[in-house]
Amino acid sequence: MTKNKIEMDIIHPHCAGIDVGSRSHFVAIGQGDGDVKEFGVYADELIALAQHLQAHGITSVAMESTGNYWQNLYVELVKHGMEVTLCNGKFTKNIKGKKTDVKDARWIQKLHTMGLLSGSFLPDDTTETLRTYCRQRQNMIDLAAEATHKMQKYLKLLNFRLDVVVRDVCGLTGLAIIADICKGNLDPEKLSEHRHGNCRKSKDEIAKALKGNNRKDYLFGLKQEYESYQFYQKKIAECEIQINTLLKRQINTDPEKKKLKTSDKGHKRVNKNAIKGIDLNQASYQYFGGTDLMSIEGVSHSTILTIMSEVGPEGFKKFSTAKEFASWLRLSPNNRISGGKLLSSKTPKGSNRLKIALRNAANAIGNLKDTHLSNFFKRVAYRKGRTVAVSATARKLAVIIWNMVVKQVPYQPPTQYLFLDEKRKLAVIAKMKKQIGKLGLAKEELGFVNT
């Protein structure tokens, strides 16, 4: 009995597979015993690795995105003119038998030869630079929030109930009082003089809340955390300078983008963590070539900044359809079908910063009234709960944003978003029409007809 041998087409005839590691990389240029070679991770050894591939006529390379170890190797291979496929490790782990680095390298090379590996999304250089600045800024914001929580803890231990009399401990009134406490002023009456005009509580009530036990160890801890908070705020400002410089340089180098102007979004609330020194509404409109992403209800300044830094205008074009983009974000249901029966439709696990930003925007949309997206949110929430509604609305946002950026389609919902004064105006007009109908007045009698 003869066995039939099934052969697969070779897609990449001159390719290599690399098993990336923390201390060494294993490079396979074939399936033979002498086709695998180990290289170190130092700069000179990475150059030697690239030259080794060039000497054997390799034009295409596949490797796993293992931690951060692949980044320097990826840059070096691209610099030497090679086509690099960076794939997710879950697509290469199903190897039969004992697992070793040599076998992993051969397996990756074999899969890549037959074209069975798909590359991961990688942003362009400008977006990657912007991403570095924005992520560092977000890290500093998180550390500043941690310092804020510790300041609140020490204030409560000192029995300074500043959290009761002010809305935000790190607001204008709160920071001024904490700064004076750290300087040694513990007089409640003098501390209450820092009350800002917008503060709802009176000076007497603030002074009453600032009568504490004045323990020196807690005062020392409060001072340490206040200095840490000020340090992080300084670092946030430095990151914002780099972000503003990069965005302005990208916009000013294109005369067509520089001429673009968008409408003001007065209804978009700006919180204290929003980037300063640049109008993000105008900058994003120019950065995306006339796409007004801020016109979508629920999309805030932080959402726009995340879209700009995580994907960028060129990154959207790497996804052929809006469904593919939503699937990459892991916002689409993963339908599992067997025998014509739907076994599961759960959303795949996994997250990234853009997915989190879109889910936050979707959650904000759920709190709006009488808008196209909020009505969609409420219909889904009524049937399947708020958690599912957040995911469904986030996916809808991803599809809308992809179509706006790639196809240059403006956002035109069936139900327009109305400001509060516009809603009041429509209510008054409806009431007037009702009164006119009751009185049976004609247009001529009202004097509105032009002669």
CA 364 – CA 267 distance, rounded (Å): 14
Residue 132 contacts residue 150 (beta carbons within 8 Å): no
State whether 383 and 280 are in the same domain.
yes
State whether 139 and 217 are in the same domain.
yes
Question: 148: helix, coil or strand?
Answer: helix
**Within a 10 A sphere around the Cβ of 257, how many other Cβ atoms?**
17
- Strands 24-28, 36-40: pairing is antiparallel
Structure tokens at 210: 């600032």
Q: Is residue 258 part of a domain?
A: no
* Per-position pLDDT tens, the chain of length 451: 566 666 677 888 889 999 999 999 999 999 887 899 999 999 999 999 999 999 999 999 999 988 889 999 999 999 999 999 999 887 777 666 778 888 889 999 999 998 888 888 889 999 999 999 999 999 999 999 999 999 999 999 999 999 899 988 998 999 999 999 999 999 999 999 999 888 888 999 999 999 989 999 999 999 999 999 999 999 999 999 999 999 999 998 888 888 899 888 877 778 888 898 888 999 999 999 999 999 998 899 999 999 999 999 999 999 999 999 999 999 988 888 888 888 788 887 878 899 999 999 999 999 988 888 999 999 999 999 999 999 999 999 999 999 999 999 999 887 665 556 666 777 777 888 888 877 777 767 766 655 4
CA 193 – CA 203 distance, rounded (Å): 7
Q: Is residue 259 part of a domain?
A: no
Number of domains in the chain: 4
Residue 47 contacts residue 147 (beta carbons within 8 Å): no
CA 312 – CA 319 distance, rounded (Å): 12
Residue 421 is predicted with a pLDDT of 64
State whether 278 and 402 are in the same domain.
yes
Residue 430 is predicted with a pLDDT of 81
pTM: 0.84
Q: How many CA atoms lie within 13 A of 380 on its CB side?
A: 20
State whether 44 and 83 are in the same domain.
yes
Structure tokens at 398: 């991803």
Q: Is residue 121 part of a domain?
A: no
CA 68 – CA 366 distance, rounded (Å): 37
State whether 36 and 85 are in the same domain.
yes
Q: Which ranges of 158-215 would DSSP assign to H, the alpha helix?
A: 162-165, 172-182, 188-191, 203-209
- Supply the DSSP string of 2-65, one letter for each residue: PPPPP----S-SSEEEEE--SSEEEEESSSSTTSEEEEESSHHHHHHHHHHHHHTT--EEEEE-
Which range marks the domain in which residue 37 is found? 15-113
Q: Is residue 4 part of a domain?
A: no
Q: Is residue 387 part of a domain?
A: yes
User: How does 216-251 read in b/e, with b if 16+ C-beta sit within 10 Å?
Assistant: eebbebbbebbebbeebbebbeebbebbbebbeebb
CA 374 – CA 64 distance, rounded (Å): 41
Domain limit, last residue, from 185, 213, 248? 248
Q: In DSSP terms, which residues pair with 85 in a beta bridge?
A: 62
**Within a 10 A sphere around the Cβ of 174, how many other Cβ atoms?**
23
State whether 372 and 299 are in the same domain.
yes
State whether 107 and 141 are in the same domain.
no
> In Å, how far from its chain's centre is CA 13?
38
Residue 119 is predicted with a pLDDT of 87
Please provide the size of the chain in residues: 451
Q: Is residue 255 part of a domain?
A: no
φ/ψ (deg, to 5) at 352: -145, 175
Query: Is residue 130 packed enough to be buried (19+ CB in 10 Å), middle (13-18) or exposed (0-12)?
Result: buried
Q: Is residue 7 part of a domain?
A: no
CA 342 – CA 346 distance, rounded (Å): 11
Q: Tokens 């001072």 label which residue?
A: 223
State whether 205 and 313 are in the same domain.
no
Domain limit, last residue, from 83, 113, 143? 113
Question: 342: helix, coil or strand?
Answer: strand
